Amino acid sequence: MGVHVAGDSPAMDRLVDETIAAVGAEIDALAVPRLKGVVLGGGYGRGEGGVIVGADGRERLSNDLDFYVVAEDGSSDSDIAAIGKALAPVSEKWTSKLGIDVDFCVAKTPWRLRHDQERVMIQELLHGYFDVAGLKGEELFAGVERREASAFPWMEAARLLMNRGAGLIMAMESDDEAFIVRNINKCVLGAGDARLIVRGEYRWKALDRAEVLGEDLYSSAVQWKFRPWSSAICTWEVARRAWLDAEAEVMACGGEGCGRSIYSAVRWVVRRRSLGDLDSVGQDPVVRILKRMTEIIRERAPFPPDLMQDWKVFN
């Protein structure tokens, strides 16, 4: 198959190749109803998965293995749930075997992929994946338009900051050193990526993004992504400042111009069962959450339970 991890390790390349083949065979043997196909995306699908070298000199994979499962058009919520349940034992087996999370995202149909084709997650999947089971990607993704990396909409930068902001707040409250390190470093990456998106300078490869952005802190985060080490690349306060600077640039490039709509208001009410803050009624949910999250991060305040629930629903 020819997977190449960013950590430049032939042994880990082979491990990912062998895992893809084995997982694919197990899924094919299950013959899951309404499952159309499975591909490996994420960092390893793009050839940017990391490798950790332990104190004993042994290598291991550092990122999750993200498998994307495409269901047939017309699949109901119960069909999607049944696919996820059928694949759960495969996920559990390989998570235990590899020591990293082996995840199956089972929320996509061809229609959903076309509907979400402007999302960074979908476009990165289209530009970097490996076939695993069922139909090949060229058939699964037929009709989904491939976009230029420099042409993502403003909202994708806002969504990225929303997710990295949530991680930053949780890192402030956590006692888990590994969790703190991971979220500080990912915050720096996300802040840089968001700035590149609104500047129209985003690139598919992390090393290319680092070159375009030209900032040492972001470049350090990219190197950590490929070959993670145990310490954060900066303090929480430095990451906080990077996030706030990125948020200011992103909002200046379009946030205040996002109009209110009945669709956004209805979407919020349907999914949250309330109007929420009346001053924000009608704003896009991502903008609503991001604005409130900015206040929390600026004040170094704890994550309010209702805001965390908003983020979980709309991330």
* Same-domain pairing of 61 and 175: no
Write down which residue in 98, 127, 147 finishes a domain. 147
Q: What is the 3-state secondary structure (H, E, C) of 10-72?
A: HHHHHHHHHHHHHHHHHHHHHCCCCEEEEEECHHHHCCCCCEEECCCCCEEECCCEEEEEEEC
Question: In this structure, are 50 and 193 located in the same domain?
Answer: no
Q: Please tell me whether residues 217 and 254 are part of one structural domain.
A: yes
Count of structural domains within the chain: 2
Position 14 in a domain: yes
Q: Provide the pLDDT for residue 6.
A: 73
Residue 259: its pLDDT value, please?
67
Average pLDDT over residues 300-307: 95
**Tokens 């840089």 appear where?**
192
Q: Above pLDDT 90, what percent of the chain?
A: 73
Looking at the predicted structure, is the pLDDT value of residue 255 above 80?
no
CA distance linking residue 69 with residue 267, whole number of Å: 25
Cα→Cα distances 93→1, 22, 31, Å: 22, 11, 18
Domain range holding 131? Answer: 10-147
**Same domain, residue pair 199 and 104:** no
Give the end of a domain, one of 98, 124, 147: 147
pLDDT per position as a tens digit, 199-239 = 999 999 999 999 999 999 999 999 999 999 889 999 999 99
Tokens of 240: 């906080």
How large a percentage of the chain has pLDDT more than 70?
Answer: 97
**Arithmetic mean of pLDDT, 180-187:** 97
The reported pLDDT for the residue numbered 56 is 85
For the segment 206-215, what is each residue's pLDDT rounded down to a tens digit? Answer: 999 999 999 9
Q: Clarify whether residues 178 and 287 are in a common domain.
A: yes
Choose among 239, 235, 203: nearest CA to 48: 203
- HSE-up of residue 164 (Cα within 13 Å, Cβ side): 28
Of the spans 1-5, 7-11, 156-160, 278-282, which averages the highest pLDDT?
A: 156-160
Q: Which of 122, 147, 172 is the last residue of a domain?
A: 147
Whether 197 and 273 map to the same domain: the answer is: yes
The tens digit of pLDDT for each residue in 27-81 reads 999 999 999 999 999 999 998 989 988 888 889 998 899 999 999 999 998 999 9
Question: Token match 């803050």: residue?
Answer: 277
Domain assignment of residue 1, yes or no: no
pLDDT at 135 over 60: yes
**Residue 137, pLDDT above cutoff 60:** yes
Same domain assignment for residues 156 and 143: no
